[in-house]
Amino acid sequence: MPDHSAPNAPRWTREQVEHLLATETFRYHRIELGYGLATEGRDRSNTARQIFPDDLTGKSVLDLGCSEGALCFEAARRGASRVMGLDVEPDTIRKNKLKAECLGLDVEFGTVDLERDTLTEKFDFVLCLNVLHHLTNPLSVLNSLTEVADERLILEMASLGPHDRRRLGILPLFGNLLAKAPIIYVGKTPTRGRKLKRFFITPGAIHNILVHHRRIYARVDIKKSEHKDRFIATAHRRKIGHLVVVAGPVGIGLDRFCTNITRGGYPEVAEKLALPADTMLLDSTPGRPQHRAHLDTAVIGYDIMRAFMRTGNVYSRDDNLDILSCAEKITYVTLWTAPEKLRKQLTDSRFGYGTFKRPSKRERRIYFSYENPAEIVGHYDGWFDYLETRNDDQVILDMSPDVPQFIDRTAWSKIAASLRS
Ligand SMILES: C[S@@+](CC[C@H](N)C(=O)[O-])C[C@H]1O[C@@H](n2cnc3c(N)ncnc32)[C@H](O)[C@@H]1O
């Protein structure tokens, strides 16, 4: 394991280091260059301890908006197999390369404009500290970060703490409420000559975006940052060996089926799908065992009517399906049942005696759509068309008999043809 207590011996002589410090300006990060000499700036070693394990052997690390590179050097000292620091300022990058040479640390530095350039290469740890709140479109950049962060995405961000609230002119009580809500507050920049951040993103907002909208993260750990009014969010990307996606229209009993199959019900089905006894049912409830980022086998339910009457009415745009990118192997189990049974189940669960919630306009529209078997078949057609675009295993399970039966696509097509006519 690398020894992080001792700063590594610099490659440069004392005279070279002194010359560097005398001829170049450093103002953002304090970096020890040996001989008791260091650049001017903030010491980021506490942050490094908060975000990195002691040993990064075998891990790749990308620091976006790395500025003077303190965290890149910390990652390299912790034994990371590859470290890259990117920033929009070319001169900062030029000086970072000098420091890497001086320290004899293998860190690649380069320029990037996070709002214009496309990131393609994946890294285990992706850092974006104190950058998002300065950008013009932080959500779009956050999305592209999720594409390249293979294991952990680490963000440091401005929230709405007391210091910033005062500068924004927000009353304390109102500010406290805002800070607890999942919101993105848009600030003015600059205000009365003082530069303010453009955006204040609360921990709740980050959690909802990463864990609930995009189920690709198992959890987000929030820590207080040593910067005033900031927090550090570490998002843990899911990795699933075998993901079983149980899909079907609302009313078919998805939740019940998923719960049963992960609790030992439907043993023949579980056997055919090679589901071990400890298969997890995924949802995003914190504190549950599926909160673990790495799972061998997991089941999720997917309502194929999710896109129905909603904007962006196509499966490929549904961020609830982003979780597919976390799985090595995927099997889709599409549940089918006779139309009259489906309609009855929907009536019983949503509209029947004893249900007090008034159905929404959308729910009523689904209910009427179920009156026509050809329309039900049409919903399945859309789902199967989507599955054609994916190169994964799929099976169809007919839930009409007392014991569900697998049917193949040809058998389903025959049923569908008879219902269309
Ligand atoms: C406030 S500093 C944070 C530096 C470092 N990440 C830290 O937390 O100590 C923000 C950094 O983001 C960089 N930056 C700003 N806009 C950027 C963009 N569009 N693309 C890449 N880097 C950007 C700035 O040059 C600056 O170095």
CA 287 to centroid of ligand 1, rounded, Å: 34
Nearest CA to 227 among 166, 154, 161? Answer: 161
**How, if at all, do strands 82-87 and 60-64 pair?**
parallel
Domain boundary residue, one of 237, 265, 281: 237
In a domain, 6, yes or no: no
Last residue of a domain, one of 237, 267, 300: 237
- Do the bridges between strand 393-398 and strand 405-407 make them parallel or antiparallel, or are there none, so unpaired? antiparallel
Which residue's CA is the nearest one to ligand 1's atom 12?
65
Q: What's the token pair of residue 81?
A: 């197999």
Beta strands in 211-326 (DSSP E): 217-224, 230-237, 239-248, 280-281, 294-303
pTM here is 0.89
Rounded Cα distance between 301 and 244, Å, is 9
What percent of the chain lies above the pLDDT cut of 90?
Answer: 75
Tally of domains within the chain: 2
Residues 232 and 367 in one domain: no
Give the confidence band of 8 by pLDDT, cuts at 50, 70, 90.
Answer: low
When pLDDT is averaged across residues 173-197 and rounded to a whole number, the result is 81
Q: Is the CB of 88 under 6 A from ligand 1?
A: yes
Q: Which residue puts its alpha carbon closest to atom 24 of ligand 1?
A: 65
Cis, peptide link before residue 190, omega less than 30° from 0 = yes
Beta strands in 141-271 (DSSP E): 149-158, 184-186, 199-201, 217-224, 230-237, 239-248
Q: Whose CA is nearest to atom 14 of ligand 1?
A: 65
CA 138–ligand 1 middle distance (angstroms):
12
Residues 216 and 244 reside in one and the same domain: no
Q: What is the distance between the alpha carbons of residues 86 and 65, in angstroms, rounded to a whole number?
A: 6
| Structural domain contains residue 62 | yes
Domain identity same for 207 and 250: no
Domain boundary among 237, 265, 285: 237
- Both 249 and 159 in one domain: the answer is no
45-92 per-position pLDDT tens digit: 999 999 999 999 999 999 999 999 999 999 999 999 999 999 999 999
> Residue 22 domain-assigned?
yes
Written as one letter, the residue type at 66 is C
Which CATH number characterizes residue 349's domain?
Answer: 3.40.50
Are 234 and 221 a contacting pair, CB within 8 Å?
Answer: yes
pLDDT at 251: 92
Please count the other Cβ atoms lying within 10 Å of the Cβ belonging to residue 413: 14
- If asked whether residues 364 and 264 sit together in one domain, one would say yes
The reply to whether 355 and 216 lie within a common domain is no
Per the structure, the complete domain to which residue 267 belongs is given by 239-420
Write out pLDDT tens, residues 281-290. 987 555 566 6
**DSSP at 293:** S
Instruction: For residue 87, report the distance from its CA to the centre of ligand 1, in Å.
Output: 6
Nearest CA to ligand 1 atom 10: 131
- The answer to whether 205 and 139 are in contact (CB under 8 A) is no
Clarify whether residues 387 and 350 are in a common domain.
yes
Q: Are residues 124 and 97 in the same domain?
A: yes
83 lines ligand 1 (CB under 6 A): no
How many A from CA of 124 to the centre of ligand 1?
Answer: 20
Q: Beta strands 230-237 and 239-248: pairing type?
A: unpaired
What tokens does 337 get?
């049942």
301 lies in the same domain as 415: yes
What's the CA gap between 73 and 71, in Å, rounded?
A: 5
**Domain annotation covers residue 279:** yes
Per the CB < 8 A criterion, the answer to whether 100 and 74 are in contact is no
Residues 233 and 270 in one domain: no
Q: Are 128 and 243 found together in one domain?
A: no
* 67 Cα: distance to centroid of ligand 1 (angstroms): 6
Residue 265 sits in the same domain as residue 198:
no
Strand order of the sheet with strand 280-281? 280-281, 294-303, 239-248, 327-336, 393-398, 405-407
